[in-house]
Each structure stands twice: as C-alpha cells, then as structure tokens.
Amino acid sequence: MSQLIQTSSYLSGLRERATKHLTDGIRSDLSRASTSEAMAVLFRLASSPATAGDALALLHELQVHQVEVEMQDEELRRTRVVLESDLIRQATHVEHSPAAFLVIDEATVLCDINLAGVRLLGASGSEVLGRPLSSRLSAASGEQLHQMLQLASSGAVPETCELELLPQGGIARKLLCTAGKELSTGRFLLVLLAPPAPKRV
C-alpha cells in the first residue's frame, strides 16, 4: 500500500472518529457542526494521551482546510472583480458602438436598445421599448424579420437582410440587419446598420 493511500485512509478514519466523538450517535453530518462543537471534540481528543495524536492530526487537517477555503475565497473575489470589469467594459462598448444593438423577443417586442439604435430608429428609448419593432417596419420587412428570427431559432448562420422602416417625414429608410438568438434568455440580438451611401462618380 502506497504512502498516499495510507495517509488518505488514515485521514478518512480520523474524520470518522471525529464525527463519532462529535455526534455521540446523534449528528451524522460533520459539516453541519458548529465551531464550538468542533473545538469541543478537539479538546476531548487532546485531553486523552491515547487520542492526543489524533487531535493534532485533526487540527492540522482543519488548518489546511481553512487555508484552502481562504485561498478559494480570495480567488473568487479576484475573479469577480475581473468579471465585473469585463462586464462594464463590454456594456460600454455596446452602448457607444456605432452599430445599433437591439434585443427583442419572439413577438419582436423591443426589450433593450443602445444609443445608436435609438438614433437609427429616430425615436427616444421610452418610445420604442416595450413595443414591437415590426410595427416600425413595412409589412414586407416585418414578415422578413419574423423569418430571420425563425432561422436564428434553428441555429442557422446569421445572414444580412435589408429591412425598410416606415416613412418618417416622408422618407423611407432601409437598414441592414442580422439576427442571432441569445441562449441565456431566449431573446434575439439584432445588429442594425444604415447601408453606406452610394458613391458619387
């Protein structure tokens, strides 16, 4: 039997003996024991010459476990700071992107929109949020948008389509659009761009 297996077996047996001392036949889960109960077990083990060695071994194991927990906690704190910084940076990029980012549901109701999207639709956020995007499109483009969402739901590679906004001030505008499904929410992310103006020759 290897030293590692012997050590593992000893620690397992030690934990069982500690549990027995702690539970006195009542408690079955050592992890639920309070600190005072655990210290009482250590005191009882240390008070007897026959189990003093077990007490020292158990104390060492508890100290190692505490250091591991503290290191894991510190790592989680560092990871949280990094993730929060990344989230803020990504949100800032999306909010100030020149492309319009819109989040809609299956009924094309607008759930979220960035500044470029507000400008592109020619309305304030309060005017468009909670309302169907399809209501701002021509009938043909509204149907095309629904088809795009069906394709996105099936996992198809997003294709760029041209959508036509209803006329504002007598001018109808066309937008380039791609759609993808957000797996976490079941909603759809649309990216809208105004097509480049034709070059003058």
Closest CA to 147 of 182, 179, 185, 193: 179
pLDDT in tens, 74-103: 999 999 999 998 888 888 877 888 889 999
Give the CATH class of 96-193. alpha beta
71 dihedral zone (left: phi>0; alpha: psi -120 to 50; beta)? alpha
Sequence ranges of the domains in the chain: 3-69, 96-193
**Look-up of token digits 């819109």:** 102
Phi-psi region of 53 (alpha: psi -120 to 50; beta: other; left: phi over 0): alpha
Average pLDDT over residues 174-184: 90
Backbone torsion region of residue 124, taken as left when φ is above 0, otherwise alpha when ψ lies between -120 and 50, otherwise beta? beta
Q: What are phi and psi of 177, to 5 degrees?
A: -140, 140
Can you read off the two tokens belonging to residue 67?
């250091």
Q: Does the model's pTM come out above 0.85?
A: no
Averaged pLDDT for residues 159-170: 84
Alpha-carbon gap, residue 17 to 34, rounded angstroms: 17
% of the chain with per-residue pLDDT over 70: 78
Q: CB of 192 within 8 A of CB of 177? A: yes
